[in-house]
Amino acid sequence: MPQKLETSFQTTAVSPAASESEVKAPLYVKVAVPLHVSQTFTYRLPETARELAHVGSRVLVPLGRSAVTGFIVELLPDLSSHRTFTDSDIRSVEKVLDPTPLITPEVLEITRWVSQYYGSPWGEVLKAALPPGINPNSEQLFTLTPKGLARVGELDSEDTAEGRVLRALAHAGELNGETLIKLVGKREASRTAKELQIRGLVATHLRFATAGARPRTQRIVQLSKLPGAEERAPRKVTPAQQRILDALSNQQTVPLPELLRVAGVSISAVNTLHKYGQLEIAEENVRRDPLALATLPQVDEYTLTGAQNQVLSQIEPPLRSGAYGAFLLHGVTGSGKTEVYLRAMRISLELGRAAMMLVPEIALTPVFSRRLRSNFGDQVAIFHSSLSKGERFDEWVRVKTGAARIVIGTRSGVFAPIANLGLVIVDEEHESTYRQQDSPRYNGRDTAIVRAQKENAVVILGSATPSLESFHNSQTGKYQYLQLPSRIGDRPMASARIVDMREVFARHKKPRVFSEELLEAIEATHKKGEQSIILLNRRGYSSFVLCRSCGETIQCPNCDVTLTYHRSERVIVCHYCNHREPAPEKCPACDGKYIYYVGEGTEQIEAMLTKLFATLRIARIDRDTATRRGAFEKSLFDFSAGKIDMLVGTQMLAKGHDFPNVTLVGVVSVDAGLALPDFRAAERTFQLITQVAGRAGRGERPGRVLIQTYHPNHYALRHACAQDYSGFYREEIRHRQNHGYPPFVSLASLLLHGTALGKVRADALELRKELDLANQERSCRILGPAPAPLARLKGEHRFQVLVKSRSRKQLRKVVDTALDAVMGRGQNLRAINLEIDPVSIM
Ligand code: ADP
Ligand code: ZN
């Protein structure tokens, strides 16, 4: 333990960062490090660093035997707040990395809230708030001591791990950990290194490397304006040199590559003129613009509809007065929500305040960012993870410096360094993708609401199918409810119909993938030259591989799921850990050759439809095809240009896109989704179908939606087909109340994982015991431990404990007390995933 803990896991209130002017020459700093630890650490500031250190600056600090980049979260004039330790316990900051802090006060505040509310390490949250690659990395290097060098001479030719390491060190001078592992394997590497150090043969030290993002620069050239340039001019100007002088004669700066091109000269001609003092060459930052090549849509100047005006008139007052206000904007797709967002943004900008818009996934950003860019030009910055490191860095800098005042992004955009935030929009607020599943865990939507609250901004949550929680909040008055009840131009919603697959089965005496009704609808749509979308929630070709002789299914060796057949590559793949192996020709269990592929994936549906409809041009969109950057966009583009007749894909297709010529949407099966062991299964299915119905008939022609299912009477399906949100809400909210689920209780899920089954189970039982101890007032209900629905994942066993309570405060108290207790007994916190408000409990 390198440093003493100063805050326990319990979220003791951190005193607000004292304003810097109050703290004269801080002697110590509190630092949050991006590691899986719940506490902050205190360091001494060396004399030279005192002037430089600010709250929000990054610092290099020693931690254990390495050094890490952390963030100053508080300046301390002395150690009086620490009862437990004194100056001699404390190590020094090695270096202050930023003279101006990278973390703004607003970002510091919201990340602190996130870390307290979700129990996520503050340093990790802060790191997630910065563009990747901005942190220097350190690595440990090994070198030989003189004693070690002497030992190399004594080595005989035996091939031991020690011998190999020493010889390699003598040869290379220094080696890093990675090379050691390559030399002797992972286990041996750390053992050997430690032993050689103890024996004084090897020494270690740290080296820092700045990885990744920095500004891109280019050289720019102009005619010299320095006095006396004339006299230094070459006596005879070559034609090439003359062309350079001509190209620059309008006194402008020209980027060097462009100058070379325009003047048709080589760099040496430029260098010669530069030597003669005729040119000035400087470095200039170049912006990497994610939308540099995009064609922007035209800006439409609509007159708002009555309903849009009504909605906006409610949003305006708090926006203008600079007060917090939360709104739920409930409107079907095509009802004009985006137009309302744009108007609200414009008002915010006019008031001199900035705006932020979050969308649930990367795939939706191109559409929105272009629309925003054509409305607001360069004031728009884009934040999402599929931009290049350089683009992300530049966009972040533009926001930090105030050059951009509108941010559009996915969930981590909520940490954008925006100052003076006036408006926050969370589109499709019901989407589960707002939840970050890996550490640091947080929900982007809920964080956005809190950020708006802290910064006195207006927040608008938009959705066609609000989450149960948000709708509930609008009923209790926590949010103001706004509605856009119909589509612009009163275009009808598509009519959705359930196709009862039980009847289809009865007719054919065997299961069929497509009902006659769906096939006829495809045919008819295609004949009319209209387009269709076919949806399925499963990638790949078949869901699993089964031997007809022995009934064997092929399981992932690491996870508790069957492998999925991908025919195009002839492999079977695990969709959780990406384990792949060649598709078997024979059954691995009984050697039988009746391998049988059960269930259909997107790939197979595509193949079947291609066979059934020879003239149909089909493209498939799912996570397999969308991984290549641009492939997804290209398919969508070709589809909207009419070069493709049908899109086959997963629910990625259900969202956000506007294709006026689509008149048919078929859902091959919703049953897998309905059957998930998750309290949100019905809500998700309802949302999916409503979203899908929004895809059909966005243009002049009416649309049609067909949903194939073996459960035609399920309430989620009935209400979805009737486009009846409140009917669904009434039934679903009753279920939630009866079974004790959100929004009536707060939930925490504690998932323990590890490779040794016995240990994970024992740890889970131990945790349960501590939870019970902490819960003597019986304010919580504790369930489990039980094997998680996915009991094995990526080679690890998983057990789950659920904690429910009507009081969020009690829930946190019980969970934190128990976690403190197990941690105190040496439980590695990394092996427990704590999720507050999990969006699903699978
Ligand atoms: P949503 O975000 O609810 O799906 P949009 O704002 O994208 O809806 O509007 C749907 C369509 O109607 C878009 O093509 C948009 O350009 C158009 N539209 C929006 N508001 C108006 C209006 N007031 N008058 C005419 N067309 C509008
Ligand atoms: Zn797997």
The 10s digit of each residue's pLDDT in 251-308 is: 678 888 888 888 888 888 888 888 888 888 887 777 777 777 777 777 777 899 999 9
Report yes or no: 727 and 686 within 8 Å, Cβ to Cβ: no
Check whether 785 has a pLDDT greater than 70: yes
| Euclidean distance between the first and the last CA atom of the chain, given in angstroms as a whole number | 35
Higher pLDDT among residues 76 and 447, named by residue: 447
Percent of the chain surpassing pLDDT 70: 87
Q: How confident is the model at residue 461 (pLDDT cuts 50, 70, 90)?
A: very high
Q: What is the pLDDT of residue 760?
A: 92
| Nearest-ligand number for the alpha carbon of 580 | 2
Mean pLDDT of the chain: 84
Q: What tokens does 302 get?
A: 């609509």
Interval between CA 632 and ligand 2 midpoint (Å): 25
Helical segments of 528-646, H only: 602-612, 623-626, 631-640
**Closest residue by CA, ligand 1 atom 5:** 336
Cα–Cα distance measured from residue 619 to residue 652, given in angstroms and rounded to the nearest whole number: 13
pLDDT of 9 reads 31
Name the phi and psi angles at 724, rounded to 5: -110, 85
Q: Is 693 helix (H, G, I), strand (E, B) or coil?
A: helix
Specify whether the CB–CB gap between 530 and 661 falls below 8 A.
yes
Q: Which residue has its alpha carbon closest to ligand 1 atom 24?
A: 302
Ligand 1 pocket (Cβ < 6 Å) reads: 300, 302-305, 308, 331, 333-339, 488
Residue of 839 and 479 predicted with greater confidence? 479
Strands (E), 375-492: 380-383, 406-409, 421-427, 435-436, 442-443, 458-463, 480-484
Residue type, 140: Q
Pick from 305, 338, 490 the residue to mutate for probing ligand 1's pocket: most ligand atoms within 8 Å of its CB: 338
User: Given this model, what pLDDT does residue 710 score?
Assistant: 84
Q: Which ligand is nearest to the CA of 339?
A: 1
Closest ligand (CA of 796): 2
At 324 the three-state DSSP class reads coil
How far away, in angstroms, is 496 Cα from ligand 1 center?
22
Nearest-angstrom CA–CA distance, 609 and 841: 35
Between 578 and 196, the more confident residue is: 196
* Closest CA to ligand 1's atom 23: 304
pLDDT band for position 549 (50/70/90)?
low
**What pLDDT is stored for residue 628 in this prediction?**
62
* Dist CA 571 CA 603 (whole Å): 13
Q: Kindly indicate the confidence band of residue 16, based on its pLDDT and cuts at 50, 70 and 90.
A: very low
| CA 339–ligand 1 middle distance (angstroms) | 6
Report the alpha-carbon distance of residue 697 to residue 658 in Å, rounded.
Answer: 10
**How far does residue 557's CA lie from ligand 2's centre (Å)?**
6
Which ligand has the shortest distance to the CA of 556? 2
Q: Which ligand is nearest to the CA of 311?
A: 1
Note if the pTM is more than 0.85: no
Could you identify the atom of ligand 1 that is nearest to the CA of residue 341? Answer: 6
Q: How far is the CA of 337 from the centre of ligand 1 (A)?
A: 7
Q: Which two tokens stand for residue 243?
A: 């062309």
Is 70 exceeded by the pLDDT of residue 15?
Answer: no
The beta-carbon contacts of 509-518 under 8 Å, at least 24 apart in sequence, are 513/600, 513/605, 513/608, 513/668, 514/608, 514/612, 514/668, 514/708, 515/706, 515/708, 517/706, 518/666, 518/668, 518/706, 518/708
User: pLDDT band at residue 841, thresholds of 50, 70 and 90?
Assistant: low
Question: 817 alpha carbon to ligand 2 midpoint, in Å?
Answer: 34
Question: Using only C-alpha atoms, what is the Rg of the chain?
Answer: 31
Instruction: Give 802's strand partners.
Output: 749, 783
Note whether 632 and 647 are within 8 A (CB).
no
DSSP 8-state class, residue 555: B
Taken as a whole, the chain contains a residue count of: 842
Contact predicate 464/691, CB 8 Å: yes
**More confident of the two residues 29 and 603:** 29
Ligand 1 centre and the CA of 659: distance in Å?
A: 13
d(CA 683, CA 469): 11
Using CA atoms of 508, 509, 514, 516 in order, give the dihedral in degrees to the nearest 10: 20
Q: Which of 383, 487, 338 is nearest to 129 (CA)?
A: 383
At 19 the pLDDT is 47
Q: Is the omega angle on the peptide bond into residue 743 within 30 degrees of 0, that is, cis?
A: yes
Residue nearest to atom 25 of ligand 1 (CA): 302
Q: What pLDDT score does 546 carry? A: 66
Does residue 250 surpass a pLDDT of 70? yes
- Say how many Å lie between the CA of residue 795 and the centre of ligand 2: 7
Q: Which atom of ligand 1 is nearest to the CA of 342?
A: 6
Q: What is the pLDDT of residues 221-236, one digit of tens each?
A: 888 877 777 777 777 8
* Paired strand residues for 596: 546
Lowest mean pLDDT, pick from 33-37, 70-74, 446-450, 761-765: 33-37
pLDDT digits 0-9 by tens, 725-746: 999 999 999 988 988 888 999 9
Spatial distance between the Cα atoms of 1 and 553, rounded to a whole number of angstroms: 47
Residue 81 has pLDDT above 90, yes or no: no
Q: What is the pLDDT of residue 552?
A: 67
- Residue 454, CA atoms < 13 Å, CB-side half-sphere: 18
User: Mean pLDDT lowest for which of 211-225, 511-525, 623-637, 751-765?
Assistant: 623-637
Listed in sequence order, the residues at least 6 apart from 706 whose beta carbon sits closer than 8 Å to its beta carbon are: 496, 497, 499, 515, 517, 518, 521, 664, 665, 666, 667
CA 659, 660, 666 angle in degrees (round to 5)?
Answer: 65
Bridging pattern class, strands 531-535 and 662-667: parallel
pLDDT mean over 194-203: 88
Contacts of 762 (CB under 8 A, 6+ apart): none
Predicted local distance difference test score (pLDDT) of residue 148:
87
Specify the pLDDT at position 321: 95
Atom of ligand 1 nearest to the CA of 303: 23
